[in-house]
Amino acid sequence: MALHDELNTILAVEPEHARARHMLGRLNAGVMRMNGVVRWVATRLLGGDALDGASWAEAERHLTFAEERDPEMLGH
């Protein structure tokens, strides 16, 4: 998935980029909110294998980090 790859590229250069971590958290949460069948199709058949490791724990980890580093941003 292009967004996932772009965010990881940003974090490779600047690991503490709060807004990139925010987006990764939202991406993980979005995947986890999908119906199980839809999630399976998206990660297995539509080339979203980068999202196969999505979890609520990862979403929370990224969003918590972002909130601590950039508390002025709404929506964490």
Q: Tell me: the pLDDT tens digits for 7-25?
A: 999 999 999 999 999 999 9
What average pLDDT does the segment 38-50 reach?
75
CB–CB of 34/42 below 8 Å?
yes
| Tokens linked to 33 | 């909110």
Average of per-residue pLDDT values in the chain: 88
Q: How far apart are CA 49 and CA 20, in angstroms?
A: 19
Provide the sign of the torsion angle of the four alpha carbons 44, 30, 63, 6, taken in this order. Answer: positive
Q: How far apart are CA 9 and CA 15, in angstroms?
A: 9
